[in-house]
């Protein structure tokens, strides 16, 4: 995909506030920072501590937060908030070099999403994983010169 194919993406706000919830990609202030995961100097990725999550959230108030960026589905309770990362619809694994080389993997190719429902004064969350035509997506990656993505799409793993 050529740069500038979807220029409107750059015009979207970092956060979207709705009654009782806030949605964002990485953190409310940074699109390129993980909220729920911490990458250690060794490259090991672990669940962030409550203190790390609180620092990354800053002054965000709502009790329900929806994030993404890592492609890893999670539901985390932290600081009186429910934080949901629904996962990824397509690319289930990737590698990154910031802050150090690490990999994010779900371990299977299924698409992921979340269904949220108000229940008993709180929120119920169902993390859904569903199959799709993985081979067509992997073939598209290959046609675009991305054999690495084809492997990740097929397996949910970043490396063989």
pLDDT in tens, 31-74: 999 999 999 999 999 999 999 999 999 999 899 999 999 999 99
pLDDT for 123 equals 95
Mean pLDDT of the chain: 94
Per residue in 103-154, pLDDT (tens digit) is: 999 999 999 999 999 988 899 999 999 999 999 999 999 999 999 999 999 9
pTM here?
Answer: 0.91
Quick one: pLDDT at residue 148?
96
For residue 116, the number of C-alpha atoms closer than 13 Å in the C-beta half-sphere is 16
Whether 160 has a pLDDT exceeding 80, the answer reads: no
Cα separations in angstroms, 74 against 32, 63, 106, 146: 18, 16, 11, 27
CA angle 54, 56, 57 (to 5 degrees): 65
| Domain layout of the chain by residue ranges | 7-155
Asked if pLDDT for residue 6 goes beyond 60, the answer is yes
Four-way CATH pick for 7-155: 1.20.120.140, 3.50.50.60, 3.60.21.10, 3.20.20.70 = 3.60.21.10
Q: How many residues does the chain have?
A: 160
Residue 3 has a pLDDT of 53
């Amino acid at each position: 995909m050529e740069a500038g194919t979807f220029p409107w993406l750059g015009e979207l706000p970092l956060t979207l506030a709705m009654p009782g919830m806030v949605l964002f990609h990485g953190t409310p202030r940074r699109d390129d920072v993980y909220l729920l995961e911490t990458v250690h100097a060794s490259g090991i990725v672990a669940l962030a501590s409550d203190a790390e999550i609180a620092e990354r959230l800053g002054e965000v108030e709502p009790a329900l937060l929806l994030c993404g960026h890592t492609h890893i589905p999670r539901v985390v309770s932290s600081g009186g908030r429910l934080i949901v990362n629904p996962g990824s619809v397509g690319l289930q694994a990737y590698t990154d070099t910031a802050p150090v080389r690490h990999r994010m993997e779900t371990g299977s190719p299924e698409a992921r999403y979340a269904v949220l429902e108000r229940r008993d004064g709180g929120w119920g969350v169902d993390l859904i994983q569903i199959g799709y035509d993985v081979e067509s997506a992997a073939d598209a990656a290959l046609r675009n010169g991305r054999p690495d993505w084809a492997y990740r799409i097929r397996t949910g793993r970043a490396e063989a």
